[in-house]
Amino acid sequence: MPFQFKKRSVLPGFGLTFGYTIFYLSLIVLIPIGALFLKSSTLSWPEFWATVTAPRVLASYRITFFASFVAAFFNLFAGLLIAWVLARYEFKGKSILDALVDLPFALPTAVAGIALTTVFSVNGWLGKPLNAIGIHVSYTPIGIIVAMIFISLPFMVRTVQPVLEDLEKELEEASATMGATRWQTFRRVILPVLTPSLFTGFALGFARALGEYGSIVFIAGNMPMKTEITPLLIITKLEQYQYAEATAIAAVTLVISFILLLFINWIQWHNRRKYSL
Amino acid sequence: MSASKTFISPPAAPEVALQTPRAHMRDAVGEPAWVRYLLITLAILVISAILLVPLAAVFHQAFAKGISGYIEAISQPDTLSAIKLTLMACAIAVPFNVVFGVAAAWCIAKFDFVGKNFLITLIDIPFSVSPVIAGLVFVLLFGRMGYFGEFLSNHDWQIVFAVPGIVLATIFVTFPFVARELIPVMQAQGTEEEEASISLGAGGWNTFWRITLPNIKWGLLYGVVLCNARAMGEFGAVSVVSGHIRGETNTLPLHVEILYNEYDFTGAFAVASLLAFLAVITLIVKKILERGVRAEIKAAENLVPEQGAIHS
């Protein structure tokens, strides 16, 4: 069979819409991102390496990755709990709770940032009791984690919830008929089906937290080497007109994001192949 | 004993007989009541602590100096110009991404071609790029030191640290929203209705306006609402390209930051409450639209057996 780019179709408009999609995608996304990699290649390799492995930069990676990981890990449990309750139980106010889950998608990050800072400040609604038991949130790495939990929670819930809703009750009934306890059924029947979506939710939330800026800068304190996240460091370099350095750090961050994006797509593709046929 | 009882009062028997297996089934695939209540309570606690309390704090702080303080804070000229700029950026960015979203969804959902999944991945890129980097790329292109910097300054055009940069950054971060909502809806709907319309002699545009658009209207609206919410609230990307000129290149979220950093907390939270109010409206509208989107996909799925019947 000869190579065919597109299957035949009686519908018109492929050329126009495909052409426009590629044109607009290139103009807004691909060319600007290409410019970033081009700019970072103006540094020689030793310069590039020295820039992206400077102690302050490494410290920013460390805190950003660590906090994103802890936040995604927390959301693994919190998100599963919320998804489970929303998918399985009926109770008063459920639809309000369900709508609230999307708040971090709808609330501007700057608003979330100042709100979390106020709530978790020494005299804040939650900061005061936490402070009393010795947990200081604002201006510490915990503050960064709290902001990241806030912005990445919906990713976990919204990835797991539809899978739970579509789960066939028959499987669980069969498991129960064969004498499994409810907990065994959850561990051996439900959890394996949920695992790909838990991975996806984890990766989506982790990726989002890595790049997050707005909600974190208010609560983090932004001390170099301690509570300075990578996106903030990029802005700091930019404000000091160190374009090449800002670009090099951005390029590293971008490559990591792309790897995560490919990983997420791979899980979803793998999962579709496994369960759809 | 029980047999004689059944005999004495026949109506009770079927009731008991029906109830027992049902009660048993519920035990098998559900949790005991105390587990249910514990999980529901925990979920409500988590959502309250992480999501509801910060939202409530915004409104609480905004009205800390009473209604008059609130009105005074949001009627400052700088606030009003920030509102104007935010609305303008949205009014440009959202339509651009709607046109793109419809075009992309049409070619991806209605045709089969090589590299389709790769194209979908490329469209998703802005979601995985840090907003700060989204701003940075436009500074690298159009800033004074950027690739087109000299060309722009020779013509006295300014993109970065001016309104066009803000619009560009907003378009970048909201790029995938409409396409992403439309692609699954249009894929579920397939191409049969459009093919029928074309084979009956309707033109492409006619088919799109009369057949496709009515089928996808909820999905489209849903995408627009999400796109708009993000466009109004974008902070990181816009912050990098704006230059923070008060009254000129300050959007609402940036204005919140400026007021907050000047220790004008009431002002910052008053402006923030406008955005929070908008977020709440977005959530409500989203919830309503979700029903419409589900109905669109369901209607498409109901078509499938009919199609199968025709083909066989």
Rounded to two decimals, the pTM is 0.88
Minimal C-alpha gap between A102 and chain B (Å) = 7
In this complex, the residue of A108, A182, A231 whose CB is nearest that of residue B253 is: A108
Radius of gyration of chain B (CA): 27
Which residues of B are less than 8 Å from A176 in CB distance? 27-29
Between these two residues, A171 and B302, which has the higher pLDDT value? A171
What is the number of CB-based contacts under 8 A between chain A and chain B?
A: 293
Q: How many CB atoms lie within 10 A of CB B177?
A: 25
Alpha-carbon gap, residue B139 to A39, rounded angstroms: 11
pLDDT exceeds cutoff 80 at A277: no
Alpha-carbon gap, residue B129 to A260, rounded angstroms: 11
B277 neighbors B299 (Cβ within 8 angstroms): no
B64 neighbors B262 (Cβ within 8 angstroms): no
pLDDT exceeds cutoff 60 at B5: no
Which of these, B59, B235, B238, lies nearest to A118 by C-alpha position? B59
Q: Locate B299 and state its tokens.
A: 């209607």
A29 neighbors B138 (Cβ within 8 angstroms): no
Instruction: Give the residue on A whose Cα is nearest the Cα of B198.
Output: A11
Q: Locate B159 and state its tokens.
A: 């993109």
A116 neighbors A218 (Cβ within 8 angstroms): yes
Residue A3 pLDDT level (bands cut at 50, 70, 90): confident
pLDDT exceeds cutoff 60 at B22: no
State pLDDT tens for residues B231-258: 999 999 999 998 777 778 899 999 999 9
pLDDT exceeds cutoff 70 at B177: yes
A209 neighbors A148 (Cβ within 8 angstroms): yes
State pLDDT tens for residues A73-112: 999 999 999 999 999 999 999 999 999 999 999 999 999 9
Residue A72 pLDDT level (bands cut at 50, 70, 90): very high
A89 neighbors B36 (Cβ within 8 angstroms): yes
Rounded average pLDDT over B42-55: 95
Task: Report which residue type is found at B88.
Answer: M
In this complex, the residue of A17, A33, A107 whose CB is nearest that of residue B137 is: A33
- Which residue in B26, B27, B29 has the most chain A C-beta atoms within 10 A of its own C-beta, making it the best mutation to test that interface? B29
Interface of A with B in 224-253 (CB under 8 A): 231-232, 234-235, 238, 241, 243, 246-247, 250, 253
Radius of gyration of chain A (CA): 23
Q: Locate A277 and state its tokens.
A: 């046929």
pLDDT exceeds cutoff 50 at A150: yes
Alpha-carbon gap, residue B202 to B211, rounded angstroms: 10
Give, in order, the Cα–Cα distances in Å from B275 to each of A196, A222, B255: 35, 25, 11
Give, in order, the Cα–Cα distances in Å from B305 to each of A23, A265, B96, B302, B308: 38, 30, 37, 7, 5
Which residues of A are less than 8 Å from B266 in CB distance? none
Minimal C-alpha gap between A203 and chain B (Å) = 11
State pLDDT tens for residues B78-130: 999 999 999 999 999 999 999 999 999 999 999 999 999 889 989 999 988 99
B295, burial (CB in 10 Å: exposed 0-12, middle 13-18, buried 19+): exposed
In this prediction, residue B4 carries a pLDDT of 42
pLDDT exceeds cutoff 50 at B147: yes
Does A39 contact chain B (CB < 8 Å)?
A: yes
- Which residue in B25, B36, B47 has the most chain A C-beta atoms within 10 A of its own C-beta, making it the best mutation to test that interface? B47
B306, burial (CB in 10 Å: exposed 0-12, middle 13-18, buried 19+): exposed
Q: Locate B79 and state its tokens.
A: 């606030």
Question: Is B140 in contact with A17 (Cβ distance < 8 A)?
Answer: no
In this complex, the residue of A106, A213, A261 whose CB is nearest that of residue B283 is: A106
In this prediction, residue B311 carries a pLDDT of 42
In this prediction, residue B156 carries a pLDDT of 85
Which residues of A are less than 8 Å from B103 in CB distance? 16-17, 20-21, 24
Residue B65 pLDDT level (bands cut at 50, 70, 90): confident
Which of these, B172, B170, B179, B164, lies nearest to B99 by C-alpha position? B179
In this prediction, residue A241 carries a pLDDT of 87
In this complex, the residue of A29, A125, A172 whose CB is nearest that of residue B126 is: A29
Does A23 contact chain B (CB < 8 Å)?
A: no
Which residues of A are less than 8 Å from B140 in CB distance? 32, 35-36, 39, 243, 247
Alpha-carbon gap, residue B257 to B131, rounded angstroms: 16
B186 neighbors B105 (Cβ within 8 angstroms): yes
Residue A272 pLDDT level (bands cut at 50, 70, 90): confident
Minimal C-alpha gap between A226 and chain B (Å) = 20
Alpha-carbon gap, residue A252 to A60, rounded angstroms: 12
Mean pLDDT of chain B: 86
Between these two residues, B31 and B289, which has the higher pLDDT value? B289
State pLDDT tens for residues A22-42: 999 999 999 999 999 998 888
In this prediction, residue A145 carries a pLDDT of 96
